[in-house]
Amino acid sequence: MEAPKYDGHEDHAITLDAATSFTRNFRAQPKAPTVNGGYFSKDGINKILEQDGCIGIRMYYGLNNDGESCLVLVGVDTTGEDLYNGSLAEIFFPCPPYCPQTSPLKG
């Protein structure tokens, strides 16, 4: 399989129906996670994106020191490599308890 080309303009759009289905499927796993999602601020994301050579963000699933599900964000360069020596993000507002009131994605 040939490595994808990275340019920062990839289209990652999906429909709301697909997004709702994907999040529902994730929550329905036999060992459902304790966190359905999380909020990251614009400033936190921009800090990653503003690094030299950064064209996007990669997300990793993780477990924090309390054993709770978390998301780790890292910048990505044009070769698809993580910019792990730069800004990273994880400390987010988890849902639950910090969930939106009306989003169909929260379950």
**What pTM was estimated for this model as a whole?**
0.74
Q: Which residues pair with 93 in a beta bridge?
A: 39
Strands ordered across the beta sheet of 56-63: 56-63, 69-76, 88-89
Strands 37-39 and 93-95, bridge-based pairing: antiparallel
What's the pLDDT tens digit per position in 34-87? 777 788 888 889 999 999 999 999 988 777 777 777 788 999 999 999 999 998
pLDDT at 14: 63
Instruction: With beta carbons less than 8 A apart as the criterion, state whether 62 and 34 touch.
Output: no
Beta bridge partners of 39: 93
- The reply to whether omega before 33 is within 30° of 0 (cis) is no
Tokens read off for 5? 């080309």
The mean pLDDT of 22-39, rounded to a whole number, is 75
